[in-house]
Amino acid sequence: MKEYFKAERVSENVWWVGAIDWNVRNFHGYETSRGTTYNAFLIIDEKITLVDTVKAPFVSELLARVASVIDPSKIDIIISNHAEPDHSGGLPAVIAATQPEKVVASVTGVKTLRAYYGEELAVDAVKTGDTLSLGKGTLSFVDTKMLHWPDSMISYYDRDKVLFSQDALGMHLASSARWADQLDPYVLDYEARKYFANILNFQAPKVLALLDSLPSLGLDIGIIAPDHGPLWRKDLETIIGIYHRAAEQLPKRKALIAYATMWGATARCANALADGLRSQGVTVVVTDLNVSDRSAVMTEVGDAGIIAFGAPTMNNQMFPAMADVLTYVKGLKPKNKIGFAFGAYGWSGEGAKNIAAELDAMGAQQPVELRQVKYMPTTADLEAFFACGVELAKALG
């Protein structure tokens, strides 16, 4: 049975032919509560070109959208900007259906695609500065190694001034609207920050370098077309600004308090700490790991000046939910943080000490010594946690 999907026009010669994944809720450990899109683009020129494919289960949707514009067998060239399977999973099936003249990827992309889909896969390599004439327009390529995989690159179609930015400048957001200017600015800001924090934060310096180098590339960008989320045709500085601020990692006067609790003791300490911070004008986000996903925590870590983590001791170590979150956060390499470790224990008390060690491994300053309570906090304990909040706020400045 044939699928029925329509392509959507991006510019005079470019069409969106991707797929909408309304139901995905986990993207390799990142909670995607609003779903996502796998964006792919069809360029109608003398050489018909497909920029990226989609996740394997969505190939029929992509081919149906292409067929609404041209016969898929007329595709001459396929560009693979990124070999991660959410973009390349459909590549073998699309090649089989279209029989293109050539498939193009970065130098590392060629190796990665062959590792995934077989050494016999015919792929041509391009590097920064290379161009590919499509007839009336030209594609140019920029290697963006480690943004966020070794194979990553971006491509630019000069005829319609479209930057195919791959995973950069994107977000996980499924929508019936293709354009950012059709969506709620608050949702765009949050999902872009969440995407950066959870996908790109560990490569923040490289993102900053790329954004700062865009003017020197001499690209007259009219449209930004990422591989996930909405496209940008207006106010391009909005999405560039969100990414730039996130990549700078300059702390706000904000504190994240994330905690796990067994019998409520750590939660009570967290709330007293929050009150102390608030008393000094610090914006505070308090989150219980029992109800918050690790990616939601990392989103708040992104621009917080203070990151406080609290957990009870269990089996002579920190509570497992906290270990999960700290491993995840540490891998994303947040910078410029003041850290604080706290918790509750019954007899051995390793939990907060383990947390402090993880904060130290992240490079977070810890100007206020870790604090723990035994069994349940007393009034004096809660007053001490309030005082810790005041001291942390002073350290933040």
Q: What is the mean pLDDT of each run of 10 residues along the chain (397 residues)?
A: 87 98 91 96 98 97 97 98 95 96 97 96 96 98 91 97 96 97 97 96 93 88 97 97 96 97 96 98 97 95 97 93 96 97 93 97 97 96 98 96
Specify the number of domains making up the chain. 2
| Residue 170 belongs to some domain of the structure | yes
| Residue 192 belongs to some domain of the structure | yes
Same domain, 79 and 197: yes
Q: What is the pLDDT of residue 3?
A: 74
Check if the beta carbon of residue 65 is closer than 8 Å to that of residue 90. no
Same domain, 280 and 208: no
| Residue 173 belongs to some domain of the structure | yes
Same domain, 232 and 370: no
Q: Please write the tens of the pLDDT for every residue from 281-325.
A: 999 999 999 999 999 999 999 999 999 999 999 999 999 999 999
Q: pTM here?
A: 0.94
Catalytic-labelled residue, pool 61, 148, 160, 293 = 148
Cα 263 to Cα 241: distance, rounded to the nearest angstrom: 43
Catalytic-labelled residue, pool 21, 86, 160, 381 = 86
Catalytic-labelled residue, pool 28, 119, 186, 220 = 28
Does the annotation mark 45 as catalytic? no
Does the annotation mark 87 as catalytic? no
What region does 161 belong to: left with phi over 0, alpha with psi -120 to 50, or beta? left
Compute the residue count for the chain.
397
Residue 390 C-beta-side C-alpha neighbours within 13 Å: 7
Angle at 274 between CA 268 and CA 279, to 5 degrees: 130
Same domain, 325 and 386: yes
The CATH number for 137's domain is 3.60.15.10
Same domain, 279 and 202: no
Same domain, 293 and 200: no
Q: What is the pLDDT of residue 262?
A: 92
Q: What is the pLDDT of residue 206?
A: 92
Does the annotation mark 172 as catalytic? no
Closest of 155, 150, 136 to residue 79, by C-alpha? 155
Q: What is the pLDDT of residue 1?
A: 53
Same domain, 229 and 165: yes
Catalytic-labelled residue, pool 38, 156, 172, 228 = 228
Closest of 49, 154, 43, 40 to residue 100, by C-alpha? 49
Q: What is the pLDDT of residue 217?
A: 86
Domain carrying residue 360: 254-396
Same domain, 342 and 216: no
Domain stops at, among 227, 247, 267: 247
Burial class (CB in 10 A: 0-12, 13-18, 19+), 239: buried
Same domain, 198 and 311: no
Does the annotation mark 275 as catalytic? no
Torsion on CA atoms 101, 104, 109, 111, rounded to nearest 10: 40
Domain stops at, among 247, 268, 288: 247
Closest of 365, 267, 281, 36 to residue 172, by C-alpha? 36
Does the annotation mark 244 as catalytic? no
Catalytic-labelled residue, pool 30, 195, 328, 345 = 195
| Residue 2 belongs to some domain of the structure | no
Same domain, 148 and 286: no
Alpha-carbon distances of 272 from 30, 338, 349, 384, rounded to whole Å:
30, 18, 20, 9
| Residue 141 belongs to some domain of the structure | yes
Domain stops at, among 217, 247, 277: 247
Same domain, 58 and 195: yes
Q: What is the pLDDT of residue 76?
A: 98
Q: What is the pLDDT of residue 49?
A: 98
Does the annotation mark 189 as catalytic? no
Q: Which residues of 255-278 are buried (b: 16+ CB within 10 A; e: fewer)?
A: bbbbbbbeeebbbbbbbbbbebbe
Same domain, 61 and 197: yes
The CATH number for 357's domain is 3.40.50.360
Identify the residue whose tokens are 């959507």: 8
Q: What is the pLDDT of residue 204?
A: 94
The structure tokens listed for 45 are: 């020129």
Does the annotation mark 228 as catalytic? yes
Catalytic-labelled residue, pool 52, 143, 167, 381 = 167
